[in-house]
Amino acid sequence: MNFKTFASASLLTVLSFGAIAAQAATLPMDDSGVMQYRYGDRLDVKKVLTIEDDQSNACGLVNTRMDYLDSSGQQQSVQYRTYATGGCHEN
């Protein structure tokens, strides 16, 4: 095995582990009865109750869930993707 082959295999291994870690970071929250937001969906939001992220100290895309009351007073939940920056900078 020459150096070029070894370097290519090492690079693919590192990228594979990165993909696995990224997939683990984007696993869905408990989404029983939660609407998945799609761009252009119109939400009937009268009052926001809570907004929470999967991982507050992550850097990159995470699942976010918003619980709210609609105009008829019914509690609704919607899940969408946001960009978290809490883990992007070292203090």
pLDDT of residue 24: 43
Question: What ranges do the domains of the chain cover?
Answer: 3-84
From CA 39, how far away is CA 81, in angstroms rounded?
Answer: 11
Q: Give the residue, 21 or 45, on which the prediction is more confident.
A: 45
Verdict on whether the full-model pTM lies above 0.85: no
Query: 2-42 pLDDT, tens per residue?
Result: 766 655 655 556 555 454 444 444 444 555 678 898 888 89
- Number of Cβ within a 10 Å radius of residue 52: 11
pLDDT of residue 71: 95
Q: What angle do CA 66, 68, 74 make, to 5 degrees?
A: 140
What CATH code is assigned to 3-84? 2.30.140.50
Mean pLDDT of the chain: 75
